[in-house]
Amino acid sequence: MTGLQEQIRPGIDRIQPYVPGLTDDELSRKYGLKRVIKLNANENALGPSPLALKAIQRELAVLHHYPDGGSRLLRDEIAEFHQVTVEQVLVGNGSDDIIKLLSETFLNPGDEIVVPAPSFSQYNFGAAVMQAKVIQVPLGPGFEYDVSGLADAVTDRTKLLYLCSPNNPTGTYLRHADALWLLERLPAQVIVVVDLAYNDFSNKPDRLIETPELLSDPRVVALHTFSKLYGLAGLRVGYGLAHPDVWSYVHRVREPFNVNRVAQRAAAAALEDVQHVAASQQLVYESREQFLSWAKRHGVEAIPPEGNFILMKTGDAKWTTERLMERGVMVRAGFAGLDEYVRITFGTREENDFCLAQLEGVLGQVAEVQSHNATSVISYKLPPRSVSVGGE
Ligand SMILES: *Cc1c(COP(=O)(O)O)cnc(C)c1O
């Protein structure tokens, strides 16, 4: 195709298209496996909220009607849940949508965003689309937040600063006091986007939370998602809480029907499903203990996890991931600067058992390869239950 190179906006050719992991279908075909355990995308091992499923069923009969473009019912529920006004709530097609909307609203070419590194890649994507510059501030020792480093990275071109707590992929969290310290030092033009996708899995008393005081700061945007705790990743719903002035501009670039009607109803129902929420949290707490004690017993370095996943140092992460795939377990690797770490999403008890047994086998294989022995053929048995979800 001639000429297209000259027609596209500057910078578009430098954006790397998102490469999702193999779907479980592709994986099964490639390795000849009947079932795979999907522990690579921080999804909810218990599946979707049963109340959400009922709401979805009821909504199917009216799919010929457009959704409420203002998502009023869902926003009312969220406002009540968080004790804020409905004008402080914006919902999106996943919180990914809101990150892109914030980028489109605030970023000009040459503007800067400040992000911790490593962190969630969507922040950088939003900047790349708008030709803004990404200033990465490495996390400190133990992948703890370096708030003075973040403060130092801010210039008069900084428009957005992202804080992800607990952070994906490290699982470390930001202390509330440290966030306040940082806010005190930031100029008025910096919007601070606090991504709390995993915050409800943490019970650290000193963790960052969105107090009314924090939300009254016109620079603060807090992001939440229905993809993790509520088990609705496939529906795509997220929301942000911020000063109504922020949303008054973001609304201008939002697609008029950015959240479909099934998603709106399902999310509203999921928010009320206290049983599903409590069970999901409980499973994560137990999984955390299981993985940490396994890591300790096997001398594997694990980062204390505050989300529904754990980052572990297993040596060559790409190799480990491929060996685990052959054994029917999908985990995630390939994070910038983390060549030796894999991120494993917590599954059900049975899935965790199976995953750790396979990991043990794979790490044993490493020792074998290192001593130049031929790799043996490993036989294994799949657990009784496995999550079957496509996509990323
Ligand atoms: C999964 C995740 C989200 C949620 O994204 P959705 O678009 O709502 O599915 C947001 N932030 C982080 C850090 C995440 O890991």
Of the three residues 215, 237, 270, the one that is the final residue of a domain is 270
pLDDT at residue number 10 = 86
Same-domain status, 325 and 228: no
Q: Which atom number of ligand 1 is nearest to the Cα of residue 167?
A: 13
Q: Kindly state whether residue 90 falls inside one of the protein's structural domains.
A: yes
Whether the CB-CB separation of 251 and 37 falls below 8 Å is answered with no
Nearest atom in ligand 1 to 97's CA: 7
| 98 lies in the same domain as 34 | no
- Assess if residue 388 is contained within a domain: no
Q: Confirm whether 202 is domain-assigned.
A: yes
Q: Is the dihedral of CA 19, 22, 26, 30 positive or negative?
A: positive
The protein residue whose alpha carbon is closest to atom 15 in ligand 1 is 168
Supply the residue whose CA is at minimum distance from atom 11 of ligand 1.
197
Domain identity same for 96 and 155? yes
Residues 133 and 259 in one domain: yes
What's the CA-to-centroid distance between 96 and ligand 1, angstroms? 6
Beta strands, E only, 79-147: 89-92, 112-117, 133-138
Same domain, residue pair 73 and 158: yes
Residue 2 belongs to some domain of the structure: no
| 201, 135: one domain | yes
Which of 251, 270, 289 marks a domain boundary? 270
- Domain tally for the chain? 2
Q: Is 170 in the pocket of ligand 1 (CB under 6 A)?
A: no
Classify 382 as helix, strand or coil: coil
Pair (70, 108) in one structural domain:
yes
Q: Is the CB of 197 under 6 A from ligand 1?
A: yes
| Closest atom of ligand 1 relative to the 233 alpha carbon | 9
CATH number of the domain that residue 290 is part of: 3.90.1150.10
pTM for the full predicted model: 0.92
Residue with CA at minimum distance from ligand 1 atom 12? 197
Q: What is the pLDDT of residue 28?
A: 79
Give me the CATH number covering residue 229: 3.40.640.10
Tell me whether residue 379 is in a domain: no
Q: Identify the domain containing residue 309 by its residue range.
A: 8-38+275-372
**pLDDT in the model for residue 27:** 77
Ligand 1 pocket test: pick from 119, 120, 224 the residue with the most ligand atoms within 8 Å of its Cβ. 120
pLDDT one digit per residue (tens) for the chain, 392 residues:
568 888 999 888 888 888 776 777 787 788 888 888 999 999 999 999 999 999 999 999 999 999 999 999 999 999 999 999 999 999 999 999 999 999 999 999 999 999 999 999 999 999 999 999 999 999 999 999 999 999 999 999 999 999 999 999 999 999 999 999 999 999 999 999 999 999 999 999 999 999 999 999 999 999 999 999 999 999 999 999 999 999 999 999 999 999 999 999 999 999 999 999 999 999 999 999 999 999 999 999 999 999 999 999 999 999 999 999 999 999 999 898 999 999 999 999 999 999 999 999 999 876 666 554 444 433 333 333 333 333 33
Same domain, 262 and 318: no
With a 6 Å cutoff on the Cβ, whether 225 touches ligand 1 is yes
My answer on whether 221 and 341 are in the same domain is no
Last residue of a domain, one of 248, 270, 292: 270
Residue 194 and residue 337 share a domain:
no
What one-letter code names the amino acid at 65? H
Same domain, 279 and 266: no
- The token duo for 260 is 């479909």
Indicate if ligand 1 lies below 6 Å from the C-beta of 168: yes
**Does residue 383 belong to any structural domain of this protein?**
no
- Report yes or no on 302 lying in a domain: yes
Confirm whether 44 is domain-assigned.
Answer: no
Residue 34 and residue 90 share a domain: no
Q: How far is CA 158 from CA 13, 74, 189, in A?
A: 24, 33, 8
What CA–CA distance (Å, rounded) separates 15 from 9? Answer: 11
